Structure 1
């Protein structure tokens, strides 16, 4: 089971990631924009940004690691159960969430400069 510290470590491999708070809970930001948040209202739950189509696919997969609540209906964010998620899949979702919030110039520099892992 990945911990918040492991989420931070995975995300910190990406450029310009900073630890912060978002809605008074631990979060990760890039260029001042939140892309990951630990949910205080659900122990072990992590909010990650994603496309609505990806969210629908993750929920339709039946994998218990992915869920949502009515609060997130129609919003491009997936809730991830850290106790159930595959660490490799989590890494991919963290990077995708980062890409959704990182400035275009930073994304481009990252894509051209290094392979993440």
Structure 2
């Protein structure tokens, strides 16, 4: 089970990450582009759930490389709290229930999201130094 404090700690280990605000929500960015952000459900999101109960608890959105990667992550990590909603159809990002995600899965997802936007030389130096 993770929290936004865990997210802050993990993204703090990724070079050149900046915490910003986008649409009134905390966003973590590299190279000026957000790769992870708080993503509570909107009223429209909740309405789309109909009679189904939406996930309860803090939700984090994380960028993925492309739609194929999104499908692979969702298939491999559904039991770890990774999911999507109709609003994210056609968008290269996944949602994560922080109450369900193991820390190692969260760490990997944040690194992968960071790598999507990190400058090549920064990414290479970070990966070489691990």
TM class by shorter chain equals 0.7 to 0.9
* Structure 1 vs Structure 2 CA RMSD: 1.6
Written as runs of structure 1 = structure 2, the 5 A alignment for 1:56-67 is 56-61=71-76, 62-63=78-79, 65-67=81-83
How far does the alpha carbon of each residue in 1:15-46 deviate from its partner, in whole angstroms, 9 at most, with x for none?
A: 01111112210111112110100113274111
**What is the match of residue 38 of structure 1?**
38
Please state whether the residue corresponding to 1:37 is helix, strand or coil. Answer: strand
The normalised TM-score by structure 2 is 0.80
Could you tell me which runs of 5 or more consecutive residues in structure 2 were left unpaired when the two chains were aligned: 43-56
**What is the match of residue 94 of structure 1?**
110
The normalised TM-score by structure 1 is 0.88
CA distance in 2: counterparts of 1:2 and 1:30, whole angstroms: 22
Q: Give the Å deviation of 1:109.
A: 2.1
Answer with 1 or 2: which has the greater Rg: 2
Could you tell me which runs of 5 or more consecutive residues in structure 1 were left unpaired when the two chains were aligned: none
Q: Are 1:12 and 2:12 counterparts? A: yes
Moved over 4 A (4+): none
CA distance in 2: counterparts of 1:111 and 1:64, whole angstroms: 25
Q: Aligned pair count?
A: 114
Please state whether the residue corresponding to 2:74 is helix, strand or coil. Answer: helix
